[in-house]
Structures are given as C-alpha cells and as structure tokens.
C-alpha cells in the first residue's frame, strides 16, 4: 500500500466500541470483498469491505474477522484470518501480509491463515447464541451482484437454521458515523492532497485543453503524494456538460467563455475527500457567471450554518431549499408569486437544483449512517449546493467537507480557494 498504516489502537478501539453493544454470547463474522472479474482472465482492482477495514485495518483480499467477546477461551475472542503467501502468489502477485504484520496492523492477537477458517467457524458457532452477519445496507446501494458476505449469510442460515442471526449494520453504522480524531487526521490529509491538486489546476486550465488532460493533472498530483487515487470517478465538465450531475466522460475541449465544473478529490488510507469547484476556463467570470456563482456561494455559506447537532437532514434540506428559491428569484429564474403558490410536493427550485445538499463522508464517499438520524457532533458532511441552468449551458456547484462540532463546525477545506476574486487572481498569477 502507498499510505502509512493507521495505528493499531484505532482499530482496537473500534472493536471495543462494537463489543460494548453486543448481547451475551454474540459472534460477529465479517468477510473481505470479492476480487471482481472483468473479461477473459482480467480482474478489477481490489477494494476492501469498508466495515472490515474499520474493525481490522487490513486492506487485503480473502480476509475474515471473527469477534466473540464472551468466548470461553480468551484466545478466541478476536480471530483474524489472512491469506497465506505461497511461492506461486509471491511470484505472480507479490508477498501478502505475514501473520506478524497483520497482528501489528490490526492489534488482533490471534492471527491465522484463511485456510483455517472452517475449523474455527464450526467451533465458535457451536458456542454462540446469536450471530451478527454483515451486508451492504446503504439505502442507495445497487445490489446487482451477490457479495461474499451475502453468500456466507445464506450458507450460515442453511447450516445453522436454529441459530439466531442478526444484522450487524444497525450497530456498526452509527459507530462509523462519529469520526475519531485519527479519522479526522486521515480526512484532513485527503483534503490537503485534494487542495494541492486543485491549486495545480488553476495554473493549467485554459481554452483549448481537454477535460481528460485536467483529469491527468489531478491523477499525477494525487499519486505523487501517496494518495489512493481518486475518491470517486472524477467529473471534469465544461460548459453545458456541467448540468449533467454525474458526467464523467471527460473528453471535451475546454472553450473560451465556459465555466468548468470540477468534482474530484483524493482518497488517503481509505478515507475520502469530496470537493467541487466551478472555475472560468479563460480565468475571468462573465457578469452572469459571477452572479450565479455568488448565489451558489451564499447558499453554501447558509447551508454550513444550518448544519448543527440535533438537526434532521430532511428539515435541513427544506431550509436550504428556501434559501435557494430566494436566490433563484433574484437571478430571474423563478417568479416569486409562483413560488409562493407552488405545490410543496413539486417545489419549483428543483428545476435548477435537483440533488441533495449534504451527505455523510468517511471511508465511503456516501458514508453509511442513516440520513434520518439527527446530526451529531463528530460527523462529517459534505455541503454541495448547485444551480444548473440548462437553457444557458451553465452549471455551478461548490462543495466542501464539514466536521460538525458541539458549538461550531470546522470546514476541513477552508484553505481551498472558493471566492470568485481569489480564483481569478490565482489563475491570473499562474499564467
């Protein structure tokens, strides 16, 4: 791996917090994600199961974690299974973690090879009263491929039909929602690398460059700083393409007079930043572009103020909608009387701002705590309002990552240029 491993104490504490929530004689079993195939004999790059990483710190395929806090044998209360390196694997793939390395990285005392899982599985299942199994319970997940964990859940139910089987997600997701100081440090590093990438672009973007060239500049900056690459497929959208929310073709030529929307960020040690900026390709905003930009910036600042402990995201979004509607009226895009008379189920602002303002951020870009839970101190949210005027070929979005505090929030991207004057000045200076 490129990144410096997180300290084992972090993962020890995560397991301890989960153990405190478990009922007596509860056994927890988590599996690594599959290595997914492409075509012929190809495979995609490996992405670890976020929940397994959160509890173990192991970023390797074929890993299994078993937690049994009440196991009669103290050595069985935490068992980590890792893939054993063979001569064939060493030649073709490289060395895997040794047991000692896995022990040091995870803080789990008992580390054995994955090939030994079956014997421990039978032994501990016979001692447990309740089994907690894991699955992807993100409400927006598209579960079109059966995961290793779902296959194992089906097997477990078949082989042990008299056991009580419970979902791990309702216990684990709230824990992942509150970020520890160490997690904040990893997010700050991802944000720092993201900042350097964006500042680099301010000196590179000009009429005639292509969106894929801009993507390449970002990739170079991220990788040379030991990031894990892009946190998500980057959106580099010039002109009217900025009105396509998930545009990532990134093939077009940047034209003089257009706005370029850049939604791209780095990941570091499996923790993700999430940044969006909208900049003028030629280095200067037109009057209309600046008016829309300043409107989005005002919505951004109001949104940051509205996020606070105890707030429900649904209610927060309604307040952001009211601010956005006022800005759209001021821009001449909405009629004030029509807004006053609108159907609450079909608000008019959604013609120009059709997505949510905020989502959780962490190991996953759209992190897992349920959106209907109140905001709590220690959570990290994006704030990303936008205005998309398709009839003008103009789309502007601004996004930073915000750490919720008890009395005041912290903008983890406060040092990334966002004011229109600052962006123009930096682009001019770089040229």
Is residue 246 part of the annotated active site? The answer reads yes
Among residues 61, 215, 258, 274, which one is catalytic?
274
Q: At 33, is the secondary structure helix, strand, or coil?
A: coil
Among residues 41, 87, 118, 343, which one is catalytic?
41
Among residues 211, 384, 401, 424, which one is catalytic?
384
Q: What is the DSSP pairing of strand 130-133 with strand 26-31? A: parallel
Q: Smallest Cα–Cα separation from 342: which of 355, 332, 329?
A: 329
Query: Within 10 A of 165 (CB to CB), how many other CB atoms are there?
Result: 13
Is residue 366 part of the annotated active site? The answer reads yes
Among residues 51, 183, 189, 399, which one is catalytic?
399
**Backbone φ, ψ for residue 385 (5° rounding):** -75, 160
Among residues 62, 397, 401, 424, which one is catalytic?
397
Q: Are 198 and 417 in contact (CB under 8 A)?
A: yes
Is residue 335 part of the annotated active site? The answer reads no
Show contacts of 134-142: CB within 8 Å, 24+ apart: 134/28, 134/29, 134/30, 134/31, 134/49, 134/51, 134/52, 134/168, 134/169, 134/172, 135/167, 135/168, 135/169, 137/167, 137/169, 137/173, 137/368, 138/364, 138/366, 138/368, 139/370, 139/371, 140/366
Among residues 176, 192, 359, 360, which one is catalytic?
359
**Backbone φ, ψ for residue 213 (5° rounding):** -70, -35
**Backbone φ, ψ for residue 100 (5° rounding):** -65, -40
**What is the C-alpha separation between 396 and 393, in angstroms, rounded?**
10
Is residue 397 part of the annotated active site? The answer reads yes
Is residue 384 part of the annotated active site? The answer reads yes
Is residue 61 part of the annotated active site? The answer reads no
Is residue 263 part of the annotated active site? The answer reads yes
Among residues 366, 373, 376, 411, which one is catalytic?
366
Among residues 122, 157, 355, 390, which one is catalytic?
355
Is residue 151 part of the annotated active site? The answer reads no
Among residues 151, 246, 390, 429, which one is catalytic?
246
Q: Smallest Cα–Cα separation from 425: which of 242, 269, 283?
A: 283
Among residues 121, 173, 316, 388, which one is catalytic?
388
Among residues 263, 364, 367, 401, which one is catalytic?
263
Q: Smallest Cα–Cα separation from 123: which of 168, 71, 167, 83?
A: 71
Annotated catalytic residues are 41, 246, 263, 274, 355, 359, 366, 384, 388, 397, 399
């Amino acid at each position: 791996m490129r990144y410096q491993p997180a300290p084992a104490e972090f993962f020890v504490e995560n397991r301890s917090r989960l153990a405190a929530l478990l009922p007596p004689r509860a056994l927890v079993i988590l599996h690594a994600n599959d290595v997914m195939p492409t075509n012929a004999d190809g495979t995609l790059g490996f992405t670890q199961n976020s929940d397994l990483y959160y509890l173990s710190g192991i970023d390797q395929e074929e890993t299994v974690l078993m937690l049994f806090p009440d196991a009669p044998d103290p050595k069985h209360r935490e068992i980590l299974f890792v893939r054993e390196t063979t001569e064939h694997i060493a030649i073709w793939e490289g060395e895997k973690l040794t047991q000692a390395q896995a022990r040091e990285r995870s803080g789990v005392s008992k580390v054995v090879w994955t090939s030994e899982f079956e014997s421990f599985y039978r032994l501990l299942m016979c001692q447990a009263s309740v089994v907690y199994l894991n699955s992807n319970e993100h409400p927006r997940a598209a579960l079109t491929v059966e995961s290793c964990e779902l296959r194992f859940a089906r097997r477990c139910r078949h082989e042990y039909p008299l056991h009580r089987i419970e979902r791990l997600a309702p216990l684990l997701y709230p824990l992942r929602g509150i970020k520890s100081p160490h997690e904040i440090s990893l997010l700050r590093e991802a944000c720092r690398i993201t900042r350097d990438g964006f500042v680099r672009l301010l000196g590179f973007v000009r009429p005639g460059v292509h969106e894929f060239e801009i993507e390449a500049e970002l990739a170079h900056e991220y990788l040379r700083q030991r990031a894990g690459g892009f946190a998500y497929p980057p959106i580099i959208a010039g002109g009217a393409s900025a009105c396509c929310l998930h545009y990532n073709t990134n093939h077009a030529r940047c034209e003089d007079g257009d706005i370029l929307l850049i939604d791209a960020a780095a990941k570091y040690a499996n923790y993700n930043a999430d940044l969006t900026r909208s900049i003028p390709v030629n280095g200067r905003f037109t009057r209309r572009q600046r008016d829309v930009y300043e409107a989005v910036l005002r919505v951004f600042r109001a949104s940051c103020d509205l996020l606070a402990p105890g707030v429900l995201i649904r209610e927060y979004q309604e307040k952001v909608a009211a601010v956005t509607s006022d800005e759209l009226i001021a821009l001449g895009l909405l009629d004030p009387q029509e807004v006053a008379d609108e159907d609450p189920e079909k608000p008019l602002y959604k013609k120009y701002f059709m997505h949510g303002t905020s989502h959780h951020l962490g190991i996953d870009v759209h992190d897992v705590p349920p959106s209907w839970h109140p905001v709590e101190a220690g959570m990290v949210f994006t704030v990303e309002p936008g205005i998309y005027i398709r009839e003008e070929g103009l789309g502007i979005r601004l996004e930073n990552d915000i750490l919720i505090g008890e009395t005041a929030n912290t903008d983890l991207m406060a040092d990334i240029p966002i004011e229109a004057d600052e962006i123009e000045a930096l682009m001019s200076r770089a040229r």
